[in-house]
Amino acid sequence: MRLPVLLWCVLGFAALSGCQDDNDSTPALRNTKWMLVQVESTPIAVSSYSESFRSYVQFSENDVITGLGPCNSFEGKFSTGRSNQLFISKLATTKVNCAALSLETLFLEALPRTAGYELSGQELRLYDASNVLRPLVILRAQQ
């Protein structure tokens, strides 16, 4: 009689532990707000003209990319392919000047050069076609 009770307890515990949220899981490329962490070799502490808003990228279900650079908001198109291919095109931005304009130029010029991506933990890394060892842009999922 003890064995069936013990078996049910073990099975119940296993089933309930499978229902817990997995905070360590990798977020999806789409519908995640990706916060800017690094552009090429430049790490970003506060990446926009205001500490109230941080630079980010978001990929939607309908293949539209939106975001906020260090100075301006932007929108464009993207497509994905086999083996983590990612292509970003037709970017349009607002035209506001700010102190971080050179950083914004670096960021917005890196996006259309993207040819692939890697999701690792909470990070999204964008790579160009020629250099898969050093990412163009590193982003982190918003918590």
CA distance 139 to 36: 5
pLDDT at 1 (0 to 100): 54
With residues binned 3-state (H G I as helix, E B as strand, rest as coil), the percentages for the chain, rounded to 5, are 20, 35, 40
The predicted model scores a pTM of 0.78
Residues 15-40 pLDDT 10s: 444 444 445 588 999 999 999 999 99
Q: Using an 8 Å Cβ cutoff, are 77 and 88 in contact? A: yes
What structural domains does the chain harbor?
Answer: 30-141 (2.40.128.270)
Model pLDDT, residue 2: 56
State the DSSP H helix or E strand holding residue 58, giving kind and residue range, or none if neither.
strand 56-59
Report the alpha-carbon distance of residue 48 to residue 62 in Å, rounded. 26
Q: Which amino acid is at 129?
A: A
Confidence band (pLDDT; 50, 70, 90) for 72?
very high
| DSSP-based three-state secondary structure for 47 | coil
